[in-house]
Amino acid sequence: MKHSSKIFFTWVAGLVLAGTVSAADTVCSEVLDFERKPLAGEGSINLCEHYRGKVIVVVNTASKCGYTYQYEGLEQLYSRYEAQGLVVLGFPSNDFANQEPGSADQIKTFCRLTYGVKFPMFAKTRVARGTDDPLFRALARHAGEYPQWNFHKYLIDRQGRVAASYASKVEPLGGELEAAVKGLL
């Protein structure tokens, strides 16, 4: 082990013993232990490093779906509760009826110009059972269900546990999803 690593682990252990952070805060949850490329971006982001300790809504999206209007509600949910620790993470997917055929740049432009989306969006992802990405496989294992259509939502608590799973028809605002988010914040 390098000297700097020993110092870091000693520092973290001191924080845990002092009660400043819990041991759970230093371990990455299985559902966040992934690297993902931002939509039309360079490099990749470690989901655990960026979003650990936050309440997270993970949603598979599509630009040509009957539920596409939910981008607006998801953005409002994000902007309403971001300061309290909520983040919405969007993962475009073309798995259902080819409703996300565009390139990364096209998707990003559509989301920003049409719905003012500012929440983090990531590269196209396979989410359906059997063709799924490891992130969505982990989410499905913990929630007990895979997305059946676009705009399926997984709610993750601050400890990185899947707290709930919501079908596409569940609206982002004014109902059970928003109430559950508020309860976790």
What is the set of active-site residues?
65
Q: What is the DSSP string of 3-60?
A: HHHHHHHHHHHHHHHHTSS-GGGGS--TTT--EEPBTT-SS-EEHHHHHTTSEEEEEE
What is the rounded CA–CA span in Å between residue 93 and residue 103? 11
117 vs 74: CA distance, rounded Å: 8
CA separation for the pair 31, 162 (Å, rounded): 8
| Of 60, 58, 110, residue with least CA distance to 89 | 58
| 88 in Cβ contact with 77 (< 8 Å) | yes
